């Protein structure tokens, strides 16, 4: 049990089992395997026909999601407060990415889209707009995770990933962090970064399965 958290807070912050994830076209979060075209990164890049990524597959990669009530944010959402407390997210700020709000927009967008990893979790809660977080699976496929208003996404330390806006060209999101934030990206190849081997070790048997597939 997390120190200081009540049973009610623990229940509010609890991770949903993958079979209850709010994943799909009508939800704040949708995930699919990407095509490999070089067209604008802001396009959906779905395969034909679309191939959704199941929640179980994302969960196995260490990704965690919650769908929160974004309307409740300004008045103090008890579920968000519980998640912050239970998971130790002591830091919070808000970032808006639009061509108008972000200096050097085109350059920054390209930077966010460089495949990289971090030495901590990356936690984003979408308050307005939407964007794509792409994560690499163990077969080197890109899984595109579409995050819209109300989506809280946690991607694990050490996973290769990238971010882009979609064609709406606008997102406002909370950035949460445990302690003093470190935003440094380690661009791929980053096999020497201890977080990478830690991540692969956390996947256990799945790594061996992927090695067999890659051979």
**Interface residues with Fe ion (CB under 5 A)?**
122
CB of 212 to Fe ion, least distance (A): 29
Tell me whether residue 16 or residue 34 sits nearer to Fe ion (CB atom): 34
- Shortest distance in whole angstroms from residue 58 CB to Fe ion: 16
Task: Say how far apart CA 192 and CA 197 lie, in whole Å.
Answer: 8
Residue among 15 and 115 whose Cβ is closer to Fe ion: 115
Which residues have C-beta within 8 Å of that of residue 144, sequence separation ≥ 6?
A: 31, 32, 33, 34, 44, 45, 46, 132, 133, 134
118 carries a ligand binding annotation: yes
Residue nearest to Fe ion (CB): 122
Q: Which of residues 30 and 122 has its CB atom nearest to Fe ion in the complex?
A: 122
Report the nearest approach of Fe ion to the CB of residue 119 (Å): 11
φ and ψ of 18, to 5 deg: -55, -30
Query: Binding residue per annotation — 122?
Result: yes
Measured from the CB atom, the residue of 53 and 117 that comes closer to Fe ion is 117
Q: Are 23 and 153 in contact (CB under 8 A)?
A: no
Consecutive H or E run containing 82: helix 78-87
CB of 177 to Fe ion, least distance (A): 12
Least Å from the CB of residue 163 to Fe ion: 6
Q: Which is nearer to Fe ion, 122 or 166 (CB)?
A: 122
Cα–Cα–Cα angle for 30, 36, 40, rounded to 5 degrees: 75
- Whether residue 116 is annotated as binding a ligand: the answer is yes
Which among 64, 76, 70 has a CA at the least distance from the CA of 123? 64
45 marked among binding-site residues: no
Helices (H), ranges, 88-191: 105-112
Rg over CA atoms, the chain: 17
Residues belonging to the binding site for Ni(2+) are 116, 118, 122, 161
Residues belonging to the binding site for Fe(2+) are 116, 118, 122, 161
Residues belonging to the binding site are 116, 118, 122, 161
């Amino acid at each position: 049990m997390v120190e200081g958290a009540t049973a009610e807070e623990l229940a509010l912050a609890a991770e949903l089992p993958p079979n209850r994830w709010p994943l799909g076209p009508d939800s704040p979060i949708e995930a699919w395997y990407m095509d490999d075209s070089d067209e604008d990164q802001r396009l959906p890049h779905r395969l034909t026909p679309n191939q959704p990524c199941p929640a179980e597959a994302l969960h196995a990669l260490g990704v965690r999601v919650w769908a929160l009530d974004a309307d409740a944010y300004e008045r103090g959402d008890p579920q968000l407060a519980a998640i912050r407390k239970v998971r130790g997210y002591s830091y919070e700020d808000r970032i808006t990415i639009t061509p108008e709000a972000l200096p050097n927009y085109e350059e920054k967008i390209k930077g966010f889209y460089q495949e990289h990893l971090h030495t901590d979790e990356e936690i984003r809660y979408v308050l307005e707009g939407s964007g794509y977080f792409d994560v690499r699976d163990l077969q080197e496929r890109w899984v595109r995770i579409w995050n819209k208003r109300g989506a809280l996404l946690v991607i694990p330390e050490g996973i290769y990933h990238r971010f882009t806006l979609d064609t709406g060209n606008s997102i406002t999101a909370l950035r949460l962090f445990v302690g003093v934030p470190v935003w440094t990206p380690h661009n791929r190849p980053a096999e020497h970064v201890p977080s990478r081997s830690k991540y692969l070790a956390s996947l256990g048997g799945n790594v061996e399965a992927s090695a067999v597939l890659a051979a």
